């Protein structure tokens, strides 16, 4: 993922964190995993923290301030 802008991969997640809205997972007919129904959307808890590592060199893109702190 270092070779692309992280905002493209995490756009839905960042938007959901900022707005408090649910993340849509799929549309169309109901889906099942075994005997359980897969929900159509997912909500994020308020105490969710996304933590990770990244390599930084001349071949990677830097994170935008919005990615580093979506509360701003």
Following DSSP, what letter does each residue of 37-53 receive, concatenated?
A: EEPSEEPPPTT------
Q: Please give the structure tokens belonging to residue 55.
A: 């390599």
pLDDT of amino acid 29? 95
Quick one: pLDDT band at residue 2, thresholds 50, 70, 90?
low
46 phi and psi angles, rounded to 5 deg: -70, -20
pLDDT over 70 for what percent of the chain?
A: 67
pLDDT band, residue 35 (cuts 50/70/90)? very high
């Amino acid at each position: 993922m270092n070779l692309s802008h992280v905002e493209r991969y995490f756009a839905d997640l960042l938007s959901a964190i900022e707005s408090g809205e649910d993340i849509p997972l799929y549309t169309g007919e109901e889906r099942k995993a075994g005997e359980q129904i897969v929900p159509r959307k997912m909500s994020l808890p308020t105490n969710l923290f996304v933590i990770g590592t990244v390599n930084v060199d001349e071949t990677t893109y830097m994170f935008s301030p919005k990615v580093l702190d979506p509360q701003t």
